[in-house]
Chain A
Amino acid sequence: MSDFSLEEMLRRDPRNEWIARNRLHPLHDTVLSAEQGERRGPSGLLRKDPHLVGFIGPNGIKRIDRADVFSSVGAELAGKKRSTEAKAVSLPWHIVENPAGYIMVVADMVGGRLTRHDKDILGLAHQLATEKAAVAVVLVCFGESKETQFDLAGVDRLIHLAGQEFNGFAPEARLAALEQIETQFYPDYWLFPDSVNGGADLASRLAARLGERPATQAWQVNGTQTLCRGASSSVDIRRATPRILMLLEECADAIDSTRHQALPLQIKPLAALKKSNGSSKMLDRGMIDVDASAVPLAEAEFILSAGNGIHNWNQFHAAAAALGATEGASRVAVDDGFMPRERQVGASGTWVTARVYLAVGISGAIQHMQGIGQCDKVVAINTDAGCDMVKRADLAVIADSDAVLAELTKLANAFMASKQQTSSKQGEKSDAA
């Protein structure tokens, strides 16, 4: 990384500066307009000429657009670029040389990357670490890792257990590894995400094994006290902070202003694991292919939903299959017998939580809108631009459903085909290697 490039060096032109200060100079205007955008004062500070900012509004009065509403896109892009550059340059190091204690963060690493939840917990670990001197935050992760930014997420030390035996559903092996870490490092805290991705499960196993009473659904933690949710999130429990914590999302802010060493830590070979491996009582048989259309509506993350505006039902089912979407329906489509009752979305059907809800030919009765209230993104395909669904949608397409669905199916099929090609190519490459 070149921290110091020639381009970024500040070069000053004393003559131009002098002309710019002197409003009576004949070249004053040209110099100013040439330097518009960025001018630096004698100390190198950025200077703005108040006479040049702003524009003349429609009624002839000068307006200064400090919120920058009107030139949003371009300016935003530029701003982003600038800030990322700056970050890459200026993030200070956070270095723990000879740790006197450890805080273990066992990450979910869904898809091999740190989740937002994981990062929040790393942030919390650093809050806890500041209460004592020279405490290192250690990330424990299992299986394959695609994460490249451990250093920016606040990982001081890294225990990466990449062995085959930790892949998939392997609570016994993982627990054995954690036990080994416990005896070897005796960490100050064990932090887990209280998540459905395995964090809560592993934490509970460790707590039961170590005989510690963990804090679950913790969301406010410091070195002495912890605030946990209890009784199905209806009460807060204030208690002394235990050694093992299962933490909710947003329990702390993620690390974003320091860089960390992410040095690998070695653990001793796992004797216990070897022993139990042969007689494992649980055997992972792998993931089951789940038909997207069989996923219960309430769980589905992408729903293609049909209403009264659908005429070609075969095409609709084909589109859902091509897009890998779970099928939903409005009440009318169900009443008319085109879709089974358990596919009905809405107040009188199922309340859905999909990330993307693609509503085709649904005008949006109030009961239906209630049912999709928790969806992140709503896309509408409808012929009526004035209907409620279009008003609610993040993207609305005013068209007959037939044509758009046909195009979507084509696009999805093409996308899948191209993906298969690339993956098979990759397969060949890796075989060759």
Chain B
Amino acid sequence: MMLDWLVPTLISVLLVLASIGAVRRINLWRAGQAEKVNMLAGLLAMPKRYLHDLHHVVDRDKYISRTHVVTGGGFVLAMVLVVCVHLFGVDSKILAWALLAALVMMFCGALFVYKRRINPPSRLSKGPWMRLPKSLLTFSITFFVLTLPAVGVLPEGFGGWLLTLVLSVLILMSLSEMLFGMTWGGPMKHAFAGALHLAFHRRPERFGGGRSTGLKPVDFGVGVSAKEVHGVAKPTDFKWNQLLGFDACVQCGRCEAVCPAFAAGQPLNPKKLIQDMVVGFAGGTDENYAGNPYPGIDLGHAKGEPNQIITDGLIHPDTLWSCTTCRACVEECPMMIEHVDAIVDMRRFLTLEKGETPNKGAQVLENIIATDNPNGYAPASRTHWAADQNLPVMKDVKQADVLFWVSDGAFDMRSQRILRAFVKLMKAANVDAAILGDEELDSGDVARRLGDDATFQSLAKRNLATLSTYQFNKIVTTDPHAFHCLKNEYGDFGSDALQNVEVLHHTMFLNRLVKDGLLQLEPFKGGKVTYHDPCYLGRYNGEYEAPRELLASLGIDVAEMERSKFRSRCCGGGGGAPITDIPGERRIADMRMEDVVSTGASMVAVGCQQCTAMLEGVVEPRPVVRDIAEILVGQLVEATSISVKEEVVHE
């Protein structure tokens, strides 16, 4: 009987082809830069990462998560059993029945995949992906029929040569997709690359509920020869596991759906960016890409080679500069791909090597280098805002319980109102706080997101040197960007200045004060209030509750926006986006303000001076924008009035 030898032959040929493809693919990844990964631990952890972490993200869309479990699980099981039953000819009815069951499961799943593809949402890529449900169905049906004789439901040799021929063609078709396509660039590639990507992820801390959001530093140190290029110029300048990560993309477009720059019509689409990276390291053009393009840039003109400079023909620099580094795409990616890392890596090349930071970028970086603040104010005027605040300066007191990290809001008249409000609250709670005064420097956030890691590292090291000379238990800052740098990024520079120091955002700190009953607040009696989660507080640091608890302590029932907490939409102020200022069709801040307006709130509470500036930049009439510290100060029951009252009572 022909099928007896044909099926095993087909399976083994395709398996061999798939292995060749796999080796080829692995070599493409290996063209990237070396990065130390604990391979064995990664591989061992992979199933758990897949079943727990990945599924957790996919599960935000119940429909597709269930579909995926059934289809994917069915396929993996079926494939293993197919190899046993049809390739090695293990003659076991139990196995055959199990195979049938797996195939039925897979078939049911594939039906739902098919249904999803009937009228797919625009974020999904079309093209080969439209073919996938059919391939899945074909696979399950074909092998179902093939397996029937093995369980004895059908006699051996049923159907004659015609059926044999039809089945052979179907086997070829479905196995091409499922095995050959898996390693030669078909939609099923995501399973192969995805599994390895999960195993060799560059940020293993992210699995198991952890968080790893700090950017990796550029190595300027010993061992880097002067000829080396900083940042990522060519696809092969990425780390090998970054390339692997790009290959894991399933083109589900969840990143695209949440990207503020994409929504604003700026030329960025995170999904397309990752696909362009694949085009880059595999070579070719973006003609076969079947998803939404970068807004305003036509498809089909991007060409890439592993050793070609990315911004010469593959990606326009504006695409890279449109990103606000809000991390919404990373948060949403079921494959846990690191878009922001890739974008900043490429920005580093543009800034450090080409000197092409657009618009105000060059000036801002020059200012930071010359004055340690982005606007070029005199460094000696950093403490002017606090002239009337009577704040102890670390230089004088040497130690304090709380070090108040003021950040560059010190130079901005609007931000100074937030600073003063916070200082007033600290004084009301009798907090032992001090500031660094003129010794404080810019945290380096802007320089780093603009790709100038040399300047960031210089600032970080000098700040750490200053910090290490003083004693304090907590650092509190009103600026989530500085908070992020201090908490997550300063650790890479081998200083013990921040060891045993708690880094807190002011909302977290104030929340503690309120809980400890150190602040007397009267209930807020204004209108409806909503809260905007700053990206660098929320997604970067996972702090969603403290600000809400603070508002609740004032009796405010926050009218949540549709996109809040980990799905919060960026204000457009991060990642140096207001500085590089890439034109789009709309402003991100305007869109965010529309979100605010749609809740019917008359006030939006924020916890970030940058968000305050961006949202207040929206043309009036609009809801008022207040930092939480400002709202709290408005409700503060002054200690003096209490004591006066007490005196009256005593008399």
Say if the two chains contact directly (CB < 8 Å): yes
Q: How far is the CA of A366 from the CA of B414 in the complex (A)?
A: 8
Tell me, yes or no, whether A375 is within 8 Å of chain B by CB: no
Tell me, yes or no, whether B619 is within 8 Å of chain A by CB: yes
In the bound complex, residues from chain A placing their C-beta under 8 Å from that of B360 are 348
Size of the chain A interface, CB-CB below 8 angstroms: 11
Pair A337/B375 contact, Cβ less than 8 Å: no
Tell me, yes or no, whether B55 is within 8 Å of chain A by CB: no
Closest to A365 in B: B617
Closest to B375 in A: A347
Q: How far is the CA of A331 from the CA of B616 in the complex (A)?
A: 12
Pair A332/B414 contact, Cβ less than 8 Å: no
Tell me, yes or no, whether B42 is within 8 Å of chain A by CB: no
In the bound complex, residues from chain B placing their C-beta under 8 Å from that of A241 are none
Supposing A308-B619, A341-B359 touch, asked if A366 and B578 sit within 8 A by C-beta, the answer is no
A residues sitting closer than 8 Å to B (CB atoms) are 308, 331-332, 335, 337, 341, 347-348, 365-366, 370
In the bound complex, residues from chain A placing their C-beta under 8 Å from that of B560 are none
Tell me, yes or no, whether B341 is within 8 Å of chain A by CB: no
Supposing A308-B619, A335-B587 touch, asked if A341 and B414 sit within 8 A by C-beta, the answer is no
Q: How far is the CA of A347 from the CA of B578 in the complex (A)?
A: 13
Closest to A347 in B: B375
B residues sitting closer than 8 Å to A (CB atoms) are 359-360, 375, 413-414, 578, 581, 583, 587, 617, 619
Instruction: Give, as a whole number of angstroms, the nearest-CB distance from A323 to chain B.
Output: 26
Pair A348/B578 contact, Cβ less than 8 Å: yes
Pair A341/B619 contact, Cβ less than 8 Å: no
Instruction: Give, as a whole number of angstroms, the nearest-CB distance from A350 to chain B.
Output: 11
Q: How far is the CA of A365 from the CA of B625 in the complex (A)?
A: 14
Instruction: Give, as a whole number of angstroms, the nearest-CB distance from B557 to chain A.
Output: 32
Pair B617/A331 contact, Cβ less than 8 Å: yes
In the bound complex, residues from chain A placing their C-beta under 8 Å from that of B375 are 347
The one of B413, B581, B587, B617 in contact with A341, judged by C-beta atoms closer than 8 angstroms, is B581
Instruction: Give, as a whole number of angstroms, the nearest-CB distance from B186 to chain A.
Output: 43
Supposing A337-B583, A347-B375 touch, asked if A332 and B413 sit within 8 A by C-beta, the answer is no
In the bound complex, residues from chain B placing their C-beta under 8 Å from that of A331 are 617
Instruction: Give, as a whole number of angstroms, the nearest-CB distance from A389 to chain B.
Output: 14
In the bound complex, residues from chain B placing their C-beta under 8 Å from that of A347 are 375
Pair B583/A366 contact, Cβ less than 8 Å: no
Instruction: Give, as a whole number of angstroms, the nearest-CB distance from B72 to chain A.
Output: 46
Q: How far is the CA of A341 from the CA of B359 in the complex (A)?
A: 9
Q: How far is the CA of A308 from the CA of B619 in the complex (A)?
A: 8
Pair A332/B581 contact, Cβ less than 8 Å: no
Q: How far is the CA of A365 from the CA of B581 in the complex (A)?
A: 19
The one of A335, A348, A366 in contact with B413, judged by C-beta atoms closer than 8 angstroms, is A366
Pair B619/A332 contact, Cβ less than 8 Å: yes
Q: How far is the CA of A331 from the CA of B613 in the complex (A)?
A: 13
Instruction: Give, as a whole number of angstroms, the nearest-CB distance from A112 to chain B.
Output: 40
- Enumerate 15 A-B pairs (CB-CB under 8 Å) in ascending A order: A308-B619, A331-B617, A332-B617, A332-B619, A335-B587, A337-B583, A341-B359, A341-B581, A347-B375, A348-B360, A348-B578, A365-B617, A366-B413, A366-B414, A370-B413
Q: How far is the CA of A341 from the CA of B579 in the complex (A)?
A: 11
In the bound complex, residues from chain A placing their C-beta under 8 Å from that of B413 are 366, 370
In the bound complex, residues from chain B placing their C-beta under 8 Å from that of A332 are 617, 619
Which A-B residue pairs are the 3 nearest by beta carbons? A366-B413, A335-B587, A332-B619
Other A-B contacts than A348-B578, A366-B414, 10 sampled, CB-CB below 8 A, are A308-B619, A331-B617, A332-B617, A332-B619, A337-B583, A341-B581, A348-B360, A365-B617, A366-B413, A370-B413
The listed residue with most B CB atoms (<10 A of its CB), out of A332, A337, A348, A365, is A348
In the bound complex, residues from chain A placing their C-beta under 8 Å from that of B587 are 335
Instruction: Give, as a whole number of angstroms, the nearest-CB distance from A144 to chain B.
Output: 42
In the bound complex, residues from chain B placing their C-beta under 8 Å from that of A337 are 583
In the bound complex, residues from chain B placing their C-beta under 8 Å from that of A348 are 360, 578
